[in-house]
Amino acid sequence: MAGTVQAPFVVLDEEYTIVEVGPSAEGGFGPLAGQNLWACFPGSASLFRPYYDKAWRTGEPQEFVQFYRGYVTRVQAETQGDRLKVSWKELHTIDALTVTTLSESLARTIELIEDEQADVLRQEVRASLRLIRGEA
């Protein structure tokens, strides 16, 4: 459809090799085609793979919000035969320019992060923020 911007996506095989890169993701992922996803993005497997594995296992599309490398992203993972299509939308980027922008940015990040693990981290982040802002 004219004027519609397609969400960035990559297609993975069962070994998590990047086999296809969508046009909007070419800038970041294009050079990575043929490589293993987890090797390209160190530390990301524990954050993303459980959702992808569940998509493989159940055949049900998975949607979640995750934080990685300063970005809060809404991710969708959907099996297509023997491939997994992963698309995403960036919801927020950490702004660490000043204490003020960082505080606002972290508050937004905390709002967006939803899972249980994030509850503990939310508290840690809030405690540190109070100290940084001199509120403790």
Partner 1 sequence: MTSAPLARPDPPTASELYVVLDSDDRLSYVSVGLQDELGGWVGHVLWDHLPGAREIYGPGFEEARSTGQAVERVVFYAGRAKRLTAIPAPDGLAVHIERIAALDVRTLGTLAQSLARIAEALGAREPAQPDLPARASLRALP
Q: Is the dihedral of CA 67, 78, 21, 19 positive or negative?
A: positive
* CB neighbour class for 112 (10 Å; exposed up to 12, middle 13-18, buried from 19): middle
Q: Strand 62-68 to strand 71-80: parallel, antiparallel, or no bridges (unpaired)?
A: antiparallel
> What gap in Å lies between CA 96 and CA 86, rounded to an integer?
28
Rule CB under 8 A: choose which of 96, 104, 111, 114 binds partner 1.
96
Judged by CB under 8 A, the number of residues near partner 1 is 26
Rule CB under 8 A: choose which of 32, 33, 45, 94 binds partner 1.
94
- Is 132 a binding residue for partner 1 by CB under 8 A? The answer is yes
- Is 121 a binding residue for partner 1 by CB under 8 A? The answer is yes
Residue among 69 and 89 whose Cβ is closer to partner 1: 69
Site residues (CB under 8 A) for partner 1, limited to 41-70:
43, 47, 67-70
Contacts of 80 (CB under 8 A, 6+ apart): 11
Applying CB under 8 A, the residues found at the interface with partner 1 are: 43, 47, 67-70, 94, 96-99, 101-102, 106, 113, 117-118, 121, 124-125, 127-129, 131-132, 136
